[in-house]
Amino acid sequence: MEYGMSKKIVVLGNGILGKEISKQTGWDNISREKNGFDITDNGLIEEMMFDQYDIIINCIANTNTYLDERDPHWNVNYKGVDNLVEFCNREGIKLVHVSTDYVYVNAEPNSSEEDVPIHQGTWYAYTKLLGDSHVQLKSKDYLIVRGGHKPTPFPYDKAYDDIVGNFDYVDKNASIIIKLVKNNSSGVFNIGTEPKSMYNLAKQTNKNVGKDICGLGCTLPKTLLMNLEKLNKEI
């Protein structure tokens, strides 16, 4: 599907973000579920005729933050990204890579794109950071977006009031990514909206949600705040 600039775009991944981007734009969508596409199989990237596109948006990731095994994260979040970078460079395709606000966990609060992200000690965060670094080092034409997108409406009975960040619902983050793509933006961008707790976000779509605290033994990061000045100047 083409937009006004006559660029042909495909979205990889049929999770909530990939679905939402294609829903808002009509851009083609390829996934394991629908098309048998496996980002870890370099041969499949060649076979899927991605060379017909000008831009590939990669929404594929292993997001199981609780999985304490390296290889499932490594293969998708790093090796699969390596495969895409190599292909896009060879075919002259721009790569839009969806990263995560988790790369800033344990970094200084309100981090900017120029600060050094510190991984939080999970294979998810570590391999996503490696994927980001590989795109920046090797890709000839790229856009990296770092954020956190949540399903809407909020699907759970309780939400943590002590986890704060710039995360937002998937439709809002998808619209930001679409604007950056249409703007032909390049480089690394933190994406999201005003700071809020997970509970405050949940209340927007689930008025009956209960308030909870991520106390002792909770492994989730408490702070996912990012600097959004670059984004706000861009769009």
Predicted TM-score of the model (pTM): 0.93
- Tens of pLDDT, residues 146-167: 999 999 999 999 999 999 999 9
pLDDT, residue 120, reads 66
The answer to whether residue 64 scores a pLDDT higher than 60 is: yes
Low-confidence winner among 78-87, 170-179, 213-222 (lowest mean pLDDT): 213-222
Q: What percent of the chain has pLDDT over 90?
A: 79
CA distance 100 to 127: 11
CA dihedral of 77, 232, 198, 23, whole degrees rounded to 10: -60
CA distance 58 to 10: 9
Assign 192 a pLDDT band (cuts: 50, 70, 90).
Answer: very high
- Tens of pLDDT, residues 1-56: 444 468 999 999 999 999 999 999 999 999 999 999 999 998 899 889 899 999 99
Distances from the Cα of 223 to the Cα of 27, 91, 163, angstroms: 33, 39, 6
The answer to whether residue 234 scores a pLDDT higher than 70 is: yes
- Tens of pLDDT, residues 114-137: 776 676 678 898 899 999 999 999
Question: What is the H or E stretch that residue 130 is in?
Answer: helix 123-138
Q: What are phi and psi of 169, to 5 degrees?
A: -70, 155
